[in-house]
Amino acid sequence: MNFYQKTISLPPFPRGYHLITREVLAQCPDVGSIETGFLHVFIKHTSASLTINENADASVRDDFESHMNLMVPENAPHFTHTMEGPDDMPAHIKASMMGSSVQIPVKNGALQLGTWQGIYLCEHRDRGGARKLVVTAYGS
């Protein structure tokens, strides 16, 4: 069994849902050497998240943003964590709802995502800044 681990950086993205599959693979070429295994991607932030979903129609990503904003609105009167701006506490809640990691099977050096699947960076802050991901690939 082989293990590869690398911390990668993503540039700042605007608030919303962004496909990052290509960026992850470009910064982690060791995935190509795994015949059978897994790729695990973990985000080191509490106001952004990761998920896997539609990779073709951008309206899906827009609908994610709209729906999450309805579920967790800014300036809710019951929020007490407000010093970092109106988008901060909702970002923490959204990040917990979406999750901090994804795991994808690898076969013959390729991610075994479905035809219409991609890895999303879910940026929940208006100005979240650069994001760091720990990418671990393991297998034989």
Task: Please tell me whether residue 28 adopts helix, strand or coil conformation.
Answer: coil
Residue-wise pLDDT for 39-76, tens only, equals 999 999 999 999 999 999 999 999 999 999 999 999 99
Lateral strand order in the sheet of 48-54:
16-19, 117-123, 48-54
Give yes or no for a contact between 125 and 72, defined as CB atoms under 8 angstroms apart: no
State residue 64's pLDDT score: 98
- What domains appear along the chain, each with residue ranges and CATH number? 2-139 (2.60.120.460)
Distance CA 11, CA 86 (A): 23
Residue-wise pLDDT for 82-119, tens only, equals 999 999 999 999 999 999 999 999 999 999 999 999 99
Nearest to 123 by CA among 31, 45, 67, 57: 45
Tokens coding 111: 């991610």
State residue 85's pLDDT score: 95
